[in-house]
Amino acid sequence: MDKVLDKLRKSCDSFSLILLDNKSTMIKFADSKVTVVQRWKTSPVSLLLSRKNKFLTTTFSTIHEMDTNLESLNEKLNLLEPTDMTPIISNNDRTIKVDYSDKELEYYLKEPNKLVEKILDSAEMPLYGTLNLVKIRKRVFTSYGFQGDETRSFNVSYFRSIDKGRSGQWSNVSSIFNESEIIEAVKKSKEYASIDGEAQIEEGKHDIVLSPMVLANLVEIIGLMSSAYSIMSSMSFLAKSKEGDIVASEKFTLWDMAKNDLVGSYNFDDEGTLTYNKPIIEHGVLRTFLFNNSLAKKFNKKSTGNAGWVDPKPWSLQVDGGDADEGSLTDGNVIFFNNNWYTRLQNYYEGQFSTVGRDAVIAYKNGKPIGRVKRVRISDKLSVIIKNLVELSKTTYKQMWWEVETPTRVPFALIKDVMLTKS
């Protein structure tokens, strides 16, 4: 490693080198059976090279490949033109080494058989889903002498129960192995799949309740849109606002969580800046966009520790819980969305989007479930979702699945006057 770092020091003005060491086991289920067992042992390497306001980012499968290509990368770098957007390495020469890995989780990563049996035995309906067990070590070395070394393990599991044309889904993510949380996700998916009956609703504005799975999906998009790169490219509805503006209901507080038990959290970013927790939106007020060093310079701000050499990103996201009991959110006439998928933006600058309801969209009348609503979309603006938010549940849930890639902890949310369409 020292030889590689020496070579890098000699070859460029500044660099940042990221080494990942990833071991993971994923088991996929369909119809309460195992479709595939996947096992990875990978060690990808990312490198940022910069010289005289020129820069190049690279990724390779191994450090050996990166080393072999270093000379040609430097030649390539020479031929580039300078740009104002060259990433800036933080003036930080600290060394950090932490290990948050969980031995029990590592055991199941190697020997998942018993856990698989328990999951399948706990299914009361045909079960579909994924169990993913991961151990990852991330090391960052920069030209300023920063050395970060962090090891984490985590599991991501999500389950869908499907029976008689009805489905329910729930997900769970944790950096500490907790078998009961995994089994609880199986049971919760079955509870939602058990809700019977069919209800018809008219297209138009409705009061809706979003489960943590749906809110996590929409909040993830808002989190990505709070990147200063999205603001610079006008690919965000927040681009029209500045810090201090009211952009949401006073009940809505969205955090970027770098110090957290969620799996996306790290103590340092890709430029060697130490990370910290921060509200992006606090009680409805826009507090900060997410910056790396070069975008911070462009916006005359300080880095928020969210590099991303080019595009800053949230580590993990959290929406603070509110005052309500979960059950009270559906007390009136509302449409409850347990899950959603295929969220697409029509216009990032306006935040206009639609997303398809899935896995138990339930109509409630006077607080009583009257049946499942089929083929309904939320078709509105992201700003409406966070401005019209009127109640949040006390309890929050950790979510991550196919449609939620950033680990997110969120409550249930009641939102007034949201446009729903059907086909």
Partner 1 sequence: MSANVEDLDWLLKYAEKRGFDYIEARHHALKIQDFNILNGLTTSVNQSESAGFSLRVVKDNIIYFFSSPSKEKIKEDLEYFHPLSARPWSNSFGKVEDIFVGEYKVTQKTPLDLVSLGEKIKFMKNVMKDVEGIKISSKILSFELIYIELFEKKDIITSDGASVHSEIPRVWNMYSIVMREGDRSINAFSDELGSAGGYEVLNSWNLQEYLSEKVKSFNEVIAKAKATPSSISDIVLSGQIAGIIAHESAGHPFEADRVLGREGAQAGMSYLTGRDIKSDRHFASESVSVVDDPTLPYSMGFFLSDDEGVRARRKFLIKDGMISELLYDRSTSSSFGVKSNGSVRTSDFTAEPIIRMSNTFFLPSSITFDEMIEDIREGVFIKSFMEWNIDDLRWSQRYVGLEAYEIKQGELGSPVLFPVFEANTGQIYNSIVAVDNNLSFYAGMCGKGEPSQGVPVWMGGPDLRLRGLSLKKLGD
Sole binder of partner 1 in the list 242, 346, 368, 394 (CB under 8 A): 346
Helix (H) or strand (E) holding 294: helix 293-298
- Binders in 371-390 for partner 1, by CB under 8 A: 375, 377, 379
Is 51 a binding residue for partner 1 by CB under 8 A? The answer is: no
Distance between CA atoms of residues 21 and 63, nearest Å: 11
Judged by DSSP in three states, 30 sits in strand
Nearer to partner 1, 313 or 377 (CB): 377
Min separation Cβ 321 and partner 1, Å: 27
Min separation Cβ 96 and partner 1, Å: 27
What would the two tokens of residue 258 be? 């770098």
Is 358 a binding residue for partner 1 by CB under 8 A? The answer is: yes
Sole binder of partner 1 in the list 1, 6, 40, 91 (CB under 8 A): 40
Min separation Cβ 210 and partner 1, Å: 17
Cβ atoms of residues 337 and 207 within 8 Å = no
Sole binder of partner 1 in the list 350, 365, 367, 395 (CB under 8 A): 350
Is 200 a binding residue for partner 1 by CB under 8 A? The answer is: no
Give the contacts of 317 (CB within 8 A, at least 6 positions apart). 216, 219, 220, 223, 254, 255, 256, 257, 406, 407, 408, 409, 410
Sole binder of partner 1 in the list 106, 354, 369, 390 (CB under 8 A): 354
Whether the CA torsion 182, 183, 188, 193 is positive or negative: it is: positive
Min separation Cβ 363 and partner 1, Å: 17
Distance between CA atoms of residues 352 and 235, nearest Å: 11
Is 112 a binding residue for partner 1 by CB under 8 A? The answer is: yes
Is 246 a binding residue for partner 1 by CB under 8 A? The answer is: no
Is 119 a binding residue for partner 1 by CB under 8 A? The answer is: no
In whole angstroms, how far apart are CA 245 and each of 157, 235, 241, 253, 354?
38, 18, 6, 14, 25
Sole binder of partner 1 in the list 14, 90, 129, 420 (CB under 8 A): 129
Distance between CA atoms of residues 265 and 277, nearest Å: 10
Sole binder of partner 1 in the list 99, 111, 196, 326 (CB under 8 A): 111
Nearer to partner 1, 117 or 196 (CB): 117
Give the contacts of 111 (CB within 8 A, at least 6 positions apart). none
Sole binder of partner 1 in the list 6, 9, 42, 99 (CB under 8 A): 42
Is 74 a binding residue for partner 1 by CB under 8 A? The answer is: no
In whole angstroms, how far apart are CA 231 and each of 126, 177, 301?
44, 38, 14
Min separation Cβ 421 and partner 1, Å: 6
Is 91 a binding residue for partner 1 by CB under 8 A? The answer is: no
In whole angstroms, how far apart are CA 358 and each of 2, 64, 178, 216, 344?
52, 45, 27, 14, 15
Q: Could you check whether the bond before residue 129 is cis, i.e. omega within 30 degrees of 0?
A: no
Min separation Cβ 171 and partner 1, Å: 10
Sole binder of partner 1 in the list 5, 11, 13, 56 (CB under 8 A): 56
Nearer to partner 1, 116 or 285 (CB): 116
Is 344 a binding residue for partner 1 by CB under 8 A? The answer is: yes
In whole angstroms, how far apart are CA 380 and each of 253, 350, 353, 384, 406?
21, 10, 6, 7, 22
Min separation Cβ 163 and partner 1, Å: 12
Nearer to partner 1, 5 or 310 (CB): 310
Pick the stretch among 192-200, 241-249, 276-284, 348-356 that binds partner 1 (CB under 8 A): 348-356
Min separation Cβ 232 and partner 1, Å: 7
Distance between CA atoms of residues 264 and 112, nearest Å: 23
Sole binder of partner 1 in the list 20, 80, 195, 199 (CB under 8 A): 80
Sole binder of partner 1 in the list 108, 158, 266, 289 (CB under 8 A): 158
Distance between CA atoms of residues 208 and 365, nearest Å: 12
DSSP codes of every residue in 272-293: SPBP--EEEEETTEE---B--H
Min separation Cβ 322 and partner 1, Å: 29
What pairing do the DSSP bridges indicate for beta strands 95-99 and 147-163?
A: parallel
- Binders in 266-325 for partner 1, by CB under 8 A: 309-310
- Binders in 257-276 for partner 1, by CB under 8 A: none
Neighbours of 189 (CB within 10 A): 30
Q: What is the dihedral of CA 208, 211, 214, 215, to 10 degrees?
A: 90
Min separation Cβ 331 and partner 1, Å: 29
Min separation Cβ 239 and partner 1, Å: 8
